[in-house]
């Protein structure tokens, strides 16, 4: 049911978007990610649920194999991310830069980036000048946009006394140097902030990973136990049928 809700929310979010934006940034669209995860989760849980209710060995084996594959992929991603941390950092940088390019193309992506920049008190990937990769914030002299050389308002320093958000607070900040801009916006990039946050919360991330892995392992074990019980019942029934046909039984 949770996976069906995820798919419904993802489809609803996609339908609300313009057709021209629908094909612009599918790779970084949160709605597409929600749909894909929801569909995969539904298929796996459907096999487990129906397989256990109908005592279908084929569905239960599919459920067990899929959970095993997901668990191994998670384990491999964690190990490879730790071993090849530089490459993982480069991949994260590539994803963030792609999101910056499509910032104005997708409202969901825009809200996600704004939330991340506010939460981690950062701006851009490596620095606030990464926003020049976006066609609206590009700092070239030929850019006709009113947001030329600006950064999103989520990069601005928070003022506790400010009751109304000034969405133009980042105007012209890319023209300023680091020291001058630091008085108005966050100048540090989100990649370094994210890496520092991960290093500071390793135990929390480990607990979350363990919390995700344990139900998967329990599901795999229970599915295999149920498969063995069904197979034992089938063998018992075959044994009884054979002996009922025996005249000496």
Locate tokens 């071993």: which residue?
83
- Answer yes or no: are the C-beta atoms of 223 and 68 closer than 8 Å: no
Under 8 Å CB-to-CB from 86, ≥6 apart: which residues?
none
Token reading at 52: 């256990």
Tokens at 226, concatenated: 């149920």
Q: Name residue 156's beta-bridge partners.
A: 185
Q: Where are the domains of the chain?
A: 85-216
Q: What is the tally of helices (H) and strands (E) in the chain? A: 9, 0
Query: pLDDT tens, 133-150?
Result: 999 999 988 899 889 999
- 85-216: CATH number: 1.10.1450.10
pTM for the structure as a whole: 0.67
**Interval 42-98: pLDDT, tens:** 999 999 999 999 889 999 999 999 999 999 988 888 787 777 777 777 888 888 888
Q: Packing angle between helix 190-200 and helix 107-120, nearest 10 degrees?
A: 60
């Amino acid at each position: 049911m949770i996976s069906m809700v995820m798919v419904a929310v993802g489809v609803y979010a996609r339908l609300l978007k313009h057709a021209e934006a629908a094909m612009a940034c599918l790779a970084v669209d949160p709605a597409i990610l929600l749909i894909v995860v929801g569909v995969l989760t539904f298929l796996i849980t459907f096999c487990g649920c129906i397989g256990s209710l109908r005592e279908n060995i084929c569905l239960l084996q599919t459920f067990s194999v899929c959970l095993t594959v997901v668990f191994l992929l998670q384990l491999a991603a964690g190990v490879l991310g730790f071993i090849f941390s530089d490459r993982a950092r480069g991949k994260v940088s590539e994803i963030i830069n792609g999101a910056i390019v499509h910032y104005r193309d997708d409202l969901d992506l825009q809200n996600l980036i704004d939330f991340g920049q506010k939460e981690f008190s950062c701006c851009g990937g490596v620095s606030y000048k990464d926003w020049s990769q976006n066609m609206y914030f590009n700092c070239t002299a030929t850019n006709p946009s009113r947001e030329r050389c600006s950064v999103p308002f989520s990069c601005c320093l928070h003022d506790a006394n400010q009751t109304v958000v000034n969405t133009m607070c980042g105007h012209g900040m890319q023209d300023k140097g680091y020291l001058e801009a630091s008085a108005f916006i966050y100048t540090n990039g989100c990649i370094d902030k994210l890496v520092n946050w991960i290093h500071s919360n390793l135990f929390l991330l480990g607990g979350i990973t363990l919390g995700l892995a344990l139900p998967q392992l329990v599901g795999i074990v229970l599915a295999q136990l149920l498969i063995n019980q069904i197979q034992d019942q089938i063998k018992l029934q075959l044994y009884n049928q054979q002996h009922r046909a025996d005249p000496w039984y």
